[in-house]
């Protein structure tokens, strides 16, 4: 559970921005978006495979950059 206490002389808008930032960093919005609709098991496997391949490609790209 995410809690944000308003600091002394802090506006409500600033506290709300901090709350939204903490929600984004914790992955709460992403989790809510994923759970909003039912996803078939085959669709979930396909999505996870695409995410894994994206991570592998990025790691390879970073490794190539570090070599030079």
pLDDT at site 25: 93
Please, are residues 5 and 12 in contact by the beta-carbon 8 Å criterion? no
d(CA 54, CA 16): 33
CA dihedral sign, ordered 38, 44, 47, 51: positive
Domain ranges of the chain: 1-36, 38-68
The pLDDT assigned to 34 comes to 86
pLDDT digits (tens, 9 = 90+) for 13-55: 999 999 999 999 999 998 998 889 999 999 999 999 999 999 9
Rounded to two decimals, the pTM is 0.55
Which residue matches tokens 């921005």? 17
Res 67: pLDDT: 82
């Amino acid at each position: 559970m995410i809690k944000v206490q308003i600091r002394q002389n802090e506006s409500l808008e600033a506290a709300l921005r901090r709350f939204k930032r903490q929600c984004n960093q914790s992955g709460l919005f992403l989790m809510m978006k994923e759970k909003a609709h039912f996803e078939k098991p085959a669709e979930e496997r396909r999505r996870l495979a695409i995410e894994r391949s994206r991570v592998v490609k990025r790691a390879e790209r970073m490794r190539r950059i570090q070599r030079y």
